[in-house]
Structure 1
């Protein structure tokens, strides 16, 4: 093949590996690359035929010239295994505007233990390569993916071969590159190798490969209460905690709920912080979250977790991860003040194990003998919080005085408005909801919102400050609103509980039950705009993921910009197909069509506010989904969706380290990516959408309010 001439290379990839090259087939997908897979067993692997030191290098450069010439070089041994364990053959054929690739995975020890694959890749201007998965029955499913970079954006080369402009020889180069990756995967994608890297064992030297990073540091190894020089959490010792809380400290705790995910737990944490602020106590927040998705072998996830529980009637298999790996605790303390996790609370009182104070389900154990000598008091949810007949406030409303306005709704008195309100909306409603219900009942409401508020004040309704009731399910503080409440049924946390000696004087105040699920964020409405806004600002600024997710998310977002050739881009969150069926949608195709319609509206909104670097008509968009079905994901990708796994490179995976093992933790990276987008379409039933919107409206991203919408059909 002739050497390239003319322009400098547009694209180049090289891989070099030194060390013992195993003769065994890849066992299954490297957790850093693939999706959730079945847990395998080391004992089930075939014996290695040999172990020898082999050096393999390869590179591909294409297309360096306008006429499509390319350079392909390969130097190595053992290209095709002869030990009856694994062999790969690849053929490519160009035909018009397509290239077909046929792979044959063979295992002579199995009768039909292989899945042969034939795929047709379009190579026109808007082409796409569909990610592939092959199965060898001996070793289980595994996936090979390519993560590349481009040097000339104007030529249209995209990370991972997602989209290209050029001739068929460009795809030929990619086919050879995949073959090269197949060879190197014998080492790079072997899970034994991943474990060795995690545990710090001596192993082969690998260049240009993905590593899961250092192991999670053991709890209690450091004594500083703030953070290390890099801002990372360091578990404090008992004496350091004692110094921080001082003498005669008072705490506030709530139940955690391990049946829920992190985003539900985050709402509980926000409520604990608010009630602790109101009561001038030290908040004790839930100390852990149970992960549900392990992307490598179960035992590897177990090694990097605090605890592991098997699947049972109570719930799926899970891995216990400290809350400090989901929330930046040092930053939270910097903004909020002193906060303790449940684990730190246990350390403070020298309680081991932690379960002495909390049940497996995250319920506080008031009968624990570990609390002997510590005065405690419990507020149960059925006392006050979960009763829809009450309006829960932080403090008392200002004294009521009849307004001097001439605004009046003819025929409406205090008793009648209470009847309408309770029958339809409880004891609190927005002005829009009040107008709708009063009009429906036959009253004439023809003034503006200020007029309506004055008219409602005359029937003993008062302002309370809260959050948009339309976003109740996603729990977003970035949408503060004014509501009207029945004064006669409005009670404050301060007067109802903190004035009672048993609650006021207790060293530990325990608020039991899921109060956050029945009311607004923070567990209460607010009597003043000032206190509501203080809570909002605290949440927007204080709650953020740890540094690793922020860094990885930023880099993935930059990759998304490259995917769209430097233009603005959109992101969306979608529930799984199972959830879609529950909502009445018929198929993944129907769901994606709905998404594309929303994206068109989002693009129009973006065009109305931004004039430069707008997305092209066939733009790619970022999709965060909990869907795991490969066929469904391919459907999404064919409709211009880009998934997290399409954008993650070795660099981001190294930043994430062991966290990349858990699908639940990768959701925090997706959260950062969605918050970075120029326009976002959220899911109205997802609390991760709420976290994304709070981040977008917060000081880190400062996105405009017009730059998002909710998918009401989700």
Structure 2
């Protein structure tokens, strides 16, 4: 598997983050490794951050650690002791490694250590790639025992500093338009190759004024800016094709990404978005680092916040669809989660007499503590959820009279269930996934009609799935798959959990109008 690639790619993994953040960091890493045709190295374990029972119960099944000590963060130090604990579990409990390998070669850090004559127990607890220790021994397959693996570090500040737009690769026609030179560039910023300075035009100056400090804007905004124009200047804007050509002739390029508003916390990949970018701001991942010959290429630090899914934009629509396919069909949970979710969905349907049912994610816990929850008071919060679901019920009622609308995924069709089953009644119960654990708050939410995971799980489910269901993090993945099967879904826009559910819904054939994330 490894021999088919040009060495290895690894990142500093932020193991202090929750699973959904780790998941979309993994999605970006698979993309970055595949573009360079390097075998990806991922952590052997993650930390589950909460136990559904007294912490000693989970400690019987997975090593319990102080999260702050394990990853070196101070985030949890002021919390009660039980909330500072985490449980180290194999990453293979959360993601299907075999399925990822169908798309691109991947190994674990423990595999790397074994490959170099080391014990897997020597894997660092914080997920950081050890620049020295991990490179101190030759591979067991290497005849020359003095040949230790070489390392090249892509410094964090090089990835996409201010006014730089990272893309997958720069196409030849774009290089030709902008006279791109493969050598030179700002060494302090890690730049390899550069765009020679081009004279400004009225179009480029006009767009610069609109974009301000940003090096990009949505295509529709650029189109409107050009339509409003400049007094005395006339442009041919009779088609999108002519607008794109006008942009290209004046130093701006069209790139492909996905709608993911409010800082891109959700990282959804199901609504393609066209953006325009100053050509001089574009830097290609392949163009800069495919030439590197070191055994291991390391991306230092973290790059997931405030970035688009994949941590880069794409220069062709085909590549954006390919990444979408990777996220939806290859970086997926192990099958046991979906098997259990299917069973729970049948029980939820029985509670509404076979009608379509609705659900929501109510992020409480740390969101309440940090002031991110939509409503602090559980009563007001669940009333907000019910209000959104009431609108969702109207959407579901209207689908029988409308054409079903799939998400923008090649070949996708909407499930016929949306028109073959009756819409929910206003009195129907609805499913709530939440990290709220205060008994009084849960009582209030339940009194408003909510059904929780504990209401659907049976002892047989627990026995069949096994000990991971002791961990709240694993239960949350079950709930994501369950809500992917709901007819209508509502959640908070600042949560990566919501983005994971929307992606799952899209892949399962949901109508694009049956989810609201606000």
Which TM bucket (shorter chain)? 0.7 to 0.9
Q: How many residues align?
A: 448
SS at match of 1:413: helix
Question: Are residues 579 and 364 of structure 1, via their aligned partners in 2, closer, same or farther at CA, if it must alter by over 3 Å?
Answer: same
Higher RCO, 1 or 2 (CA under 8 Å, sep at least 6)?
2
Residue in 2 that maps onto 1:328:
96
Deviation of the 1:262 alpha carbon = 0.6
Deviation of the 1:368 alpha carbon = 1.4
Question: Are residues 546 and 583 of structure 1, via their aligned partners in 2, closer, same or farther at CA, if it must alter by over 3 Å?
Answer: closer
- What pairs with 1:215-254 in structure 2 (closer than 5 Å)? 244-246=1-3, 250-254=7-11
User: d(CA) in 1 for partners of 2:64 and 2:460?
Assistant: 28
Deviation of the 1:382 alpha carbon = 0.4
In angstroms, what is the RMSD of aligned CA positions?
A: 2.8
Deviation of the 1:302 alpha carbon = 2.3
Task: Please identify, of 613-622 and 244-253, the stretch whose mean Cα deviation from structure 2 is larger.
Answer: 244-253
Residue in 2 that maps onto 1:558:
346
What residue ranges of structure 2 are gaps of 5+ in the alignment? 77-83, 138-147, 178-200, 401-418
Deviation of the 1:523 alpha carbon = 2.2
Residue in 2 that maps onto 1:485:
277
Residue in 1 that maps onto 2:128:
363
Residue in 2 that maps onto 1:25:
none
Residue in 2 that maps onto 1:538:
326
Residue in 1 that maps onto 2:297:
509
Residue in 2 that maps onto 1:707:
514
User: d(CA) in 1 for partners of 2:4 and 2:169?
Assistant: 28
User: d(CA) in 1 for partners of 2:514 and 2:360?
Assistant: 12
Matched, 1:464 2:255: yes
Query: How high is the TM-score relative to the length of structure 2?
Result: 0.80
User: d(CA) in 1 for partners of 2:162 and 2:429?
Assistant: 45
Question: Are residues 593 and 468 of structure 1, via their aligned partners in 2, closer, same or farther at CA, if it must alter by over 3 Å?
Answer: same
User: d(CA) in 2 for partners of 1:367 and 1:671?
Assistant: 39
Contact 2:259–2:273 under 8 Å retained in 1? yes
Deviations 1:438-468 (A, max 9, x none): 7999889996882654553443211111111
SS at match of 1:590: helix
Query: How high is the TM-score relative to the length of structure 1?
Result: 0.59
Larger Rg: 1
Question: Are residues 620 and 489 of structure 1, via their aligned partners in 2, closer, same or farther at CA, if it must alter by over 3 Å?
Answer: same
User: d(CA) in 2 for partners of 1:589 and 1:440?
Assistant: 47
Query: Which of 218, 223, 228 is residue 430 of structure 1 equivalent to?
Result: 218
User: d(CA) in 2 for partners of 1:601 and 1:415?
Assistant: 44
Residue in 1 that maps onto 2:153:
378
User: d(CA) in 1 for partners of 2:323 and 2:365?
Assistant: 36
Deviation of the 1:388 alpha carbon = 2.7
Deviation of the 1:494 alpha carbon = 1.5
Over 6 Å off, 4+ runs:
436-449
Q: Which structure shows the higher strand fraction?
A: 1
Contact 2:258–2:268 under 8 Å retained in 1? yes
SS at match of 2:23: helix
User: d(CA) in 1 for partners of 2:325 and 2:450?
Assistant: 34
Question: Are residues 438 and 413 of structure 1, via their aligned partners in 2, closer, same or farther at CA, if it must alter by over 3 Å?
Answer: closer
Matched, 1:658 2:467: yes
What residue ranges of structure 1 are gaps of 5+ in the alignment? 1-243, 403-410
Question: Are residues 693 and 586 of structure 1, via their aligned partners in 2, closer, same or farther at CA, if it must alter by over 3 Å?
Answer: closer
Question: Are residues 306 and 386 of structure 1, via their aligned partners in 2, closer, same or farther at CA, if it must alter by over 3 Å?
Answer: farther
SS at match of 2:442: helix
User: d(CA) in 1 for partners of 2:358 and 2:441?
Assistant: 21
Residue in 1 that maps onto 2:317:
529
Contact 2:207–2:225 under 8 Å retained in 1? no
